[in-house]
Chain A
């Protein structure tokens, strides 16, 4: 990660953290859900955008994070429940990933699809841990005797976690492992020929992306005080795939744009629906609109919103003398 990007990240995170105490509760809620889905999208992007493995099990992994963190929270572990939720999801991600190591591309995607449905089923039947269809109620975590139960506090926590994950991935991208991810993504045979241990590289991708998914799920469960099967269904997995496609696979900031877009669009549609008194018709349009959107992006801008942002920036800087050359902007931002 370039130092300038990191500084911008710090500034944005600090600014958001500074204004959250003054936010309207609804806006704080929106900040929370965008931050959570950004974390989830960064996790999936690590696996798909950096390492080239498409997964439809993201929602289920988040569910594991949520149920684990929920139970641990209720047991009084406070915020430790969040990284532990991450660890549980990381374990599950490796378990799903290892048998799938021999599968490539579409076959791997289908294996993850199966994992998604199996886990959803387990969420429903493992009543002692999950409370079945009605879901697990999660009590607010306490830190030093103070319960975190305010929408603004959730927003702060989620944004802080997002910042940690975002910088962590920025650093990861510049490590030998991060470079191996990119080679494996481009061509597994070449990666192997170069001497990269492809299985080990994928193992780390599953582990780290699962951990991040678990953190997103844990935060989501804590913020909604509930973990139920419906909240981590296949449809959500599709949403996450949409987020990284719309945002720009493989980039560092694209998943954040995609997450904001995919998360806020239904909110916007609902508000518009309420305005015109036609909420049900519009929410039916939602799935359709998503489908169309993904197809349009895949056809016209496979590199997502991030590519659009880059083009705009190029256009702005190109008119100035001494503006950045295209070479300087192709690095993953």
Chain B
């Protein structure tokens, strides 16, 4: 198993955000993590990406324990993520952000332009073009990120994470704020990343058409625990999932 979480529990004061969660993602697999708001999906991603240390449980990546590692250290081990809410980053352009992303990864294809003091990075320019062209943003390289729409900013955040050339990519609602046509384009970009880099992907997403288009397997979370693990056909008819989502008895 590439990513393996066992009994992960995260509490915030009295709130149990993640409750003994078990979750596996195989090498090269794209898994969707879905569930109602407040189910603990973001909290779990935060824990795998080094923002929180859980009160109990274990998370391993390629057999090595990764709990307690900083996001910086995780980046060096090939783990990178996107954010559900992108921060406002004044004065940074689209290209700035993609370059920064690349400099925080391991530089699998090319390391030279990743130093603290280098200013040129042709690979980042190329990546910016290919990743953002599907959204019609290929010419936006030098545009300040502040001037883009929320959805496009999220796409740039995705480009930043992909630019790190990760082996494990954690995505938190990557297509929120995009039109459904753009969402489908981005879904193809995400699949393309897996094809090109053999990357393993865990993706939180609500839009079921995007999930079906992108993912090999679906895990459903509710109230901090896993209630379903299976294919997209099975999830439609699962009684527990229907109860949680539709309030059926």
Contacts and interface: CB of A to CB of B under 8 A. Distances in A.
Contacts of B81: 193
Given A176-B100, A186-B88, A327-B143, A195 B75 contact: yes
A330 B143 CA distance: 9
A250 B87 contact: no
A204 B116 contact: yes
A175 B147 contact: no
A177 B142 contact: no
Contact of B142 (A172, A187, A195, A331): A331
A174 interface: yes
A236 interface: no
A187 B85 CA distance: 13
Interface string A160-185: 00000000000110111101101100
Interface stretch (B60-68, B89-97, B129-137, B175-183): B89-97
A169 to B, nearest CB: 13
Nearest to B81: A193
Interface of A is mostly: helix
Given A176-B114, A176-B115, A194-B71, A327 B83 contact: no
A197 B72 contact: yes
Interface in A12-41: none
Contacts of A190: 83, 87, 89
Contacts of A177: 116-117
A196 B116 CA distance: 11
Interface of B: 49, 51, 70-72, 74-75, 80-81, 83, 87-93, 96-97, 99-101, 103-105, 114-119, 142-144, 146-147, 160, 164
11 contacts: A176-B99, A179-B99, A179-B103, A182-B89, A182-B91, A183-B89, A183-B100, A195-B71, A195-B104, A330-B144, A331-B142
